[in-house]
Amino acid sequence: MFSIKTSKGNVSFPRFVGPFINGKFQPTLSALPVKRQLLNPCTEELLETVHEAGPEDVDFAVKSAHAALKGPWKDFSGRRRRNVLLDIAQALEQNIWKMTVLEAACGKPLAEAKYDIEESIECFRYFAGHADKIYGLNFATEDNHKSYTVKKPVGICGLITSFNYPLVLAAWKIAPALACGNAVILKPAPQTPLSSLMLGELIAKHTDLPQGVFNVLPGGEAVGSAIVTHKGIHKCSFTGSGNVGRKVMSGAANSNLKSITLELGGKSPLIVFADADLDQAVEDVFGAIFSNMGQNCCAGSRLFLEKGIESQFLERLKARIEKVKIGDTLDEAYDFGTMVDRAQFEKVMTFIEEAKTEVEADLLVGGKRCGDKGYFIEPTVFYNVPETSRLATEEIFGPVLSVMKPFVSLDEVLERANATPYGLASGVWTKDLTKAEHCIQELETGVTWVNCYNLCSSHLPFGGVKQSGFGKDLGTEALGEYTTVKAVTIRV
């Protein structure tokens, strides 16, 4: 057992002795076994040691998944798959505090971590409702022939997630994959594997999911590469950086041309018009960039303010930021946490220091490390940021907002907002619905929020365009990512 200390007392967990394969934790088969020390990013103290998987474990997981697909899982009706997903949701709900603590121990405030677990539960319940409703179409276009389509599971799905929302991102992929009858090999980010490993334990204890259908392989690039290039895996869904996304595409193409879904980075624009409810817009913008300390693929990191409101808006935004309580994320007294690890901390601080010395922009607030222990960075805002600076063009993945020079016209701001290779999300604040609708149609993003931000409901598809990726998580669209369509014609 190991324990995590919180403001409500210690919480104990079983030790996860290795990868979760074929329904139980296994010693790694890796020829070069790695023990990764996970540090609490708030204290830089040892949290737990995880035995990482290797390529040999990927082979074992594929064989186990294949046996399950050809065996008991194949015979599960949609109704039984629905019940499995509902059982997973119930198990998570019964262990919500433990799961919350595991996520908070990665540098996320307890309130945000609890919300993430609740959203994960909702995701499993949503896709449970689809498990017994996977259907094709009938056609009556030819005399003496009957034509229809059948939807079949893709097969074995390799799911690779990022560190910023460990369980949420896993649920977004696992739930539709299982609903459609697939087997899953999940590789969580190496910094944040604990909640995914515990999910494996809960599934084994509280559901009748056959062994081999769900597997968890903690590890780094070697495991991810083995999943992407394995010819026994039929689908890969990846959330992470654009650079790694390109490797996923290459590996999938050079192995067995497996289908892929990519949810990559962003440099999402926020547009606030003069007629907006400014108090609400300030709160929404604060959440858009500083939720999860900016470690969010759809973080609203470029802010465009209509000319004439910039001074009062920035004054209110600064006042909101100054209310933040930065500290130990396992203590409910604090609402702002850390970067996930030292590497991410150093990357973000490099952006900030470069901006302070080399970029012709003004610092409104923040810009420093907070304290001398842990990977805390103050919420930081630069304004009058040049359009071509790294602050304005590159994904920082930290608590740094770039306020661009004010805009004058609608067409101008849309052109500037779209001047990025990314296209994940965007936000618009206005009371003019005609203006809002024009922005919705013209913004080159996969998601647009109007007078709100960061609302990701299970029934709505999520994914980007341009270099933010392709394919969808969530919504009925996600079902298409985990099924194939067979066309059938019968002479009658």
Neighbours of 421 (CB within 10 A): 11
| SS3 per-residue string spanning 272-299 | ECCCCCHHHHHHHHHHHHHHHHHCCCCC
* Cα gap 371→466, rounded to integer Å: 39
Active site residue 112: no
Q: Quick one: which of 63, 482, 486 has its CA closest to 235?
A: 482
Q: What is the C-alpha R_g of the chain?
A: 23
Residue 386 one-letter amino acid? P
Quick one: 274 exposed, middle or buried, by C-beta within 10 A (0-12, 13-18, 19+)? middle
Q: Quick one: which of 155, 151, 154 has its CA closest to 66?
A: 155
Catalytic residue, candidates 106, 297, 298, 456? 297
* Helix, coil or strand: residue 148: strand
Q: Quick one: which of 333, 344, 331, 330 has its CA closest to 377?
A: 344
Dihedral of CA 72/123/120/228: which sign? positive
* Cα gap 396→363, rounded to integer Å: 16
Dihedral of CA 193/194/195/197: which sign? positive
Residues 6+ positions from 357 with CB-CB distance below 8 Å:
none
Number of helices (H), then strands (E), in the chain: 15, 22
Residue 180 · residue 485 · CB < 8 Å: no
* Cα gap 478→483, rounded to integer Å: 9
Find the helix or strand (DSSP H, E) in which 448 lies.
Answer: strand 447-450
| Dihedral over alpha carbons 456, 457, 458, 464 (to 10 degrees) | -40
Residue 227 · residue 188 · CB < 8 Å: no
Active site residue 306: no
Catalytic residue, candidates 103, 263, 310, 378? 263
Dihedral of CA 249/252/258/263: which sign? negative
Tokens coding 192: 């944040």
* Cα gap 303→382, rounded to integer Å: 10
Tokens coding 425: 């999300």
Active site residues: 263, 297
